[in-house]
Structure 1
Amino acid sequence: MTETPRRPLVPFADHARVERLDACRTRLPDAPELTNHIGSVHAGALFTLAETASGGAMMASFGQAVGEGVRPLVRKSEIRYLRVARGELIATARIVEPPAAIADRLAADGRTDFEVAVVLADADGQVVAEMDVTWNLARPRQPAAA
């Protein structure tokens, strides 16, 4: 029997070589194809690493709701590049407020926004960038009654 190849949850992150370490941490390997014109990690690769980690944090808390049809979308992202990034990088994401409060708003209003903070560090633990991601969760709209 032939095994079906795994389709990544986010094909672009897979293409960018982002690896999931656990629910809220992602890794970017040290690879020449991920660098820019000065030999440091490309800003777009840093952004993708952080955004993917934020999605992991979102899914860790709200994956069941997403499986039940809630639509998750990034509404806004802000990244701060703090120092030149070289080598392997790890992004760690955390939801800023208690997930129960977010779930309560989703239940009451059918939609809600919430913040995920992400820290990107190099192999020495030096923080190279920080990102704030605003996620939106929305239940599907019900068709109007006829």
Structure 2
Amino acid sequence: MSTDSTSAKDRSDNHHSLKSSIEQAIPFVERAKLRVIHLERGKATCEIPLEPNKNHMGSMYAGAQFTLADITGGALFLASFDSETTVPTLKNLTMEFVKPATSDLHLSLQISEQQILDMTQQAQAKGKAHCELEGQLCDRASEVVAHMKGDFFIVARTK
């Protein structure tokens, strides 16, 4: 097996392990049945089912939608930055609800390779780096039900 194949397999195994960790590390996320659908450096997609997250109006609870936005951003950062040297954190997250979410939802977020490199350098030099992420929470028919805008940071780990 070539080095390239081995490193690709290692990355795949690492992302599979990371997916499981993201889905199970926070009890609410596990109870909400949020799932990481796609994860790679610079890209993350998560989904959350309507059940068990239905509210008294028959649509998805706003807190579950917030969780989808928060966890997708966190998953993106965990897949994109070295967890040995940085920790992802959320400073601010705003949601604009467009219409009731009456089915499962998904959200995809991404950052460029250049953003990853710039943020890594900034975190090494200044102790933290900031990135604003925007995305649309979409239902099964790919219709937008909410817009999210988040201020995400990576913070350098102290040794």
Place the TM-score, normalised by the shorter chain, in its bin.
0.7 to 0.9
User: Which residue does the alignment assign to 1:52?
Assistant: 71
TM-score, with length taken from structure 2: 0.75
Moved over 4 A (4+): none
Query: What SS class does the counterpart of residue 39 from structure 1 fall into?
Result: coil
Query: What SS class does the counterpart of residue 106 from structure 1 fall into?
Result: helix
**What are the Cα deviations for residues 77-122 of structure 1, in whole angstroms up to 9, with x where unaligned?**
1111111111111111123772222112112212112122232101
**What are the Cα deviations for residues 24-60 of structure 1, in whole angstroms up to 9, with x where unaligned?**
11111231x3111210111011111111111111112
The number of aligned residues is: 133
- Does the CA-based 8 Å contact 1:36-1:42 persist in structure 2? yes
1:27 aligned onto 2:27: no
- Does the CA-based 8 Å contact 2:50-2:59 persist in structure 1? no
- Does the CA-based 8 Å contact 1:71-1:138 persist in structure 2? yes
User: How far did residue 141 of structure 1 move?
Assistant: 4.1
Long gaps (5+) in structure 2: 1-19
**Higher helix proportion (structure 1 or 2):** 2
Q: Distance in 2 between matches of 1:71 and 1:136?
A: 8
User: Which residue does the alignment assign to 1:119?
Assistant: 136
Q: One-letter code of the match for 2:53?
A: L
Structure showing greater relative contact order (alpha-carbon pairs closer than 8 Å, 6 or more residues apart): 1
- Does the CA-based 8 Å contact 2:132-2:151 persist in structure 1? yes
User: How far did residue 140 of structure 1 move?
Assistant: 3.2
Long gaps (5+) in structure 1: 1-5
Higher mean Cα deviation, 35-44 or 87-96?
87-96
Q: Distance in 2 between matches of 1:105 and 1:36?
A: 42
User: Which residue does the alignment assign to 1:43?
Assistant: 62
For residues 1-146 of structure 1, the aligned pairs below 5 Å read 8-23=24-39, 24-31=44-51, 33-62=52-81, 64=82, 66=83, 68-95=84-111, 98-141=115-158
Query: What SS class does the counterpart of residue 60 from structure 1 fall into?
Result: helix
Q: Distance in 1 between matches of 2:118 and 2:85?
A: 20
TM-score, with length taken from structure 1: 0.81
RMSD, aligned α-carbons? 2.0
Structure with the greater alpha carbon radius of gyration: 1
**What are the Cα deviations for residues 110-141 of structure 1, in whole angstroms up to 9, with x where unaligned?**
21121222321011110111111212222234
